[in-house]
Structure 1
């Protein structure tokens, strides 16, 4: 009789394990489990849509890990409905400790984004990279490539953007002597006005700084890299080469002295929109938004797109991507991270519907919602 009870109990446990969670709605801030019953591990991520599937790429965090140290690499998940995600494994792995590689275990690898190049048939990944043990002074852009959406991705290089090129909207002061030569700064402010410091001129020969970043592919398949530059004080938008593997030398600088991070871009009815955060480290802050008729400006600020309770903290999240929903014209999803720096793996995802009010887009809290 005891054996029969044990067999019955074992069968019950087996059946319960097979009964995987099936989602039919979004519940922002709650645990979000993949097909294996594990919390999705794709922080600071972005989405690529190819042939009926969405691919979600993000930073893989480890238990007890504080901050942004990369111990594993970039994780990939796939979904056909945006609610339920299948673990596709590690798309880009960091190299072993002691290898001396740019992406050695212990480096900082942030905000990975993947785009598909129709001309070459390659999947191209860009990310913000800081070599191991060097803090945030590197401000490099890492590039990797794959023949498959899920990888594995082959690391190619890490560079500073647009070495030896001035932006299209360069000012004469940028071609003069830099007061920032030999200096580095921290925090969300500088001791003088950005243009008088001339950080752009300081970094002209070696390439511009690039930290928080995103990618955007326009209707004509031209790709752009959007990143925080000049000690985080100014946003740059840079055109990539046709193969998406390098900078073309064409770029512009926008929102000088505004200290904007976490850029995310989308296009609607011929206009370009940006969402960004302020620079307050891991602490949430009030989001910003902007619109332009041309990706290279002029950009017009529209204020905080979030409305309602906790809008001044972006619902305790930070933007990482603005996702167009396939088959639903004009429908977008705000993707944000609710960071937990003391245990980064427990970071939660804040996905909310994007609505439009005249010229501006707005985001309002919903504890549960459906497409």
Structure 2
């Protein structure tokens, strides 16, 4: 009888995981999703959590690239980039985003800077470049694009993290980033130089993890909010990428078993999708996170409907 019960429980558990897509990557812990579409294929750029179960801080040695044509089955290309790629860098592989321009792929990453003649250390943003989304990648500049000394509105050393980049309809590229305050700057067409001064904005409840994009004639700025612990995702909209930004509210509540969350938005095959991470895998947690996807919906006026977090995700039902 006991054996039969165990078999029944095992079958139920197996059926659950067979029907549950979320989290989408189960063989390693992944965080900070950044999806793009290139030639009808989705490429997903992620962080990689390797902290122990009992750890009280992050251990993120590298960034991975995955691809899919159905958002259900994913190919892992392994560790495509790490802070070791950058001679000036040290520390962990924090949130990053890759974008294509003129046949090249620019991967904007956040890590930490060694103490040297240019910087006293602290968080910094670098850029890697490749001819293909899966690499190989190399340091595009040979130095950090943003160092801690360039932003002085906040005094903590980890404020220059979490870059998000978009290219507007007129070809002008913009980068947003920041922990504690949100900064943006224009980028030159070569994608490796800033074009003008850094501007600081103050979206309501902003803390970190921005994601900026345009849909129809409306610009969206999503971010992790500091109103509560754990984090939620809130957002603003604007008629111009430079603002003014109108606060629109919370779209994602706390996620299971993780005090952080991080947004990524993708339109693919006629639908919109919201990428995020949680700690729901076995032995997962705030330092052992996993990426999930759920469908995203808009109201008639362009505002975003609240994200419904599911275990099934976008798997075929």
- Unaligned runs of 5+ residues in structure 1 are 1-22, 166-177, 188-208
Q: Report the counterpart of residue 158 of structure 1 in structure 2.
A: 144
Q: Is 2:66 the counterpart of 1:77?
A: yes
Structure 1 residue matching 2:160: 3-state secondary structure: coil
Q: Report the counterpart of residue 13 of structure 2 in structure 1.
A: none
Q: Once the 2 structures are TM-superposed, how far is the Cα of residue 63 of structure 1 from its aligned partner? A: 5.4
Q: Report the counterpart of residue 4 of structure 2 in structure 1.
A: none
Q: Once the 2 structures are TM-superposed, how far is the Cα of residue 369 of structure 1 from its aligned partner? A: 4.1
Q: Report the counterpart of residue 296 of structure 1 in structure 2.
A: 242
After TM superposition, list the pairs within 5 Å mapping 1:1-371 onto structure 2: 27-28=21-22, 30=23, 32-33=25-26, 38-39=27-28, 41-62=29-50, 64=52, 67-71=57-61, 73-95=62-84, 101-104=87-90, 107-118=91-102, 121-131=103-113, 138-155=122-139, 156-160=142-146, 184-185=155-156, 210-228=160-178, 232-255=179-202, 258-279=205-226, 283-306=229-252, 311=253, 313-314=254-255, 318-325=261-268, 327-328=269-270, 331-339=271-279, 346-357=288-299, 358-362=301-305, 363-370=307-314
* Inter-CA distance 149–185: structure 2 relative to 1 (3 Å threshold): closer
Could you report, residue by residue, the CA deviation over 1:269-311 in whole angstroms, capped at 9, with x for unpaired residues?
Answer: 1101121112489x522321111010000100001123xxxx3
Alpha-carbon distance in 2 for matches of 1:24, 1:265: 34
Alpha-carbon distance in 2 for matches of 1:44, 1:334: 12
Q: Is the 8 A contact 1:42 1:56 kept in 2?
A: no
Instruction: Identify the structure with bigger relative contact order (alpha carbons < 8 Å, sequence gap 6+).
Output: 2
Structure 2 residue matching 1:110: 3-state secondary structure: coil
User: Of the two, which has the highest radius of gyration?
Assistant: 1
Q: Is the 8 A contact 1:76 1:87 kept in 2?
A: yes
Q: Is the 8 A contact 1:234 1:259 kept in 2?
A: yes
Q: Once the 2 structures are TM-superposed, how far is the Cα of residue 133 of structure 1 from its aligned partner? A: 9.4
Q: Once the 2 structures are TM-superposed, how far is the Cα of residue 338 of structure 1 from its aligned partner? A: 1.4
Q: Once the 2 structures are TM-superposed, how far is the Cα of residue 25 of structure 1 from its aligned partner? A: 7.1
Alpha-carbon distance in 2 for matches of 1:84, 1:110: 25
Q: TM-score, normalised by structure 1?
A: 0.66
How many matched pairs?
A: 287
Could you report, residue by residue, the CA deviation over 1:173-226 in whole angstroms, capped at 9, with x for unpaired residues?
Answer: xxxxx9x7xx83489xxxxxxxxxxxxxxxxxxxxx522221222233432211
Q: Once the 2 structures are TM-superposed, how far is the Cα of residue 240 of structure 1 from its aligned partner? A: 1.0
* Inter-CA distance 117–300: structure 2 relative to 1 (3 Å threshold): same
Q: TM-score, normalised by structure 2?
A: 0.76
* Inter-CA distance 24–49: structure 2 relative to 1 (3 Å threshold): farther
Q: Once the 2 structures are TM-superposed, how far is the Cα of residue 260 of structure 1 from its aligned partner? A: 2.5
- Unaligned runs of 5+ residues in structure 2 are 1-16
Q: Report the counterpart of residue 8 of structure 1 in structure 2.
A: none
Q: Report the counterpart of residue 7 of structure 2 in structure 1.
A: none
Alpha-carbon distance in 2 for matches of 1:86, 1:211: 27
Q: Is the 8 A contact 1:274 1:289 kept in 2?
A: yes
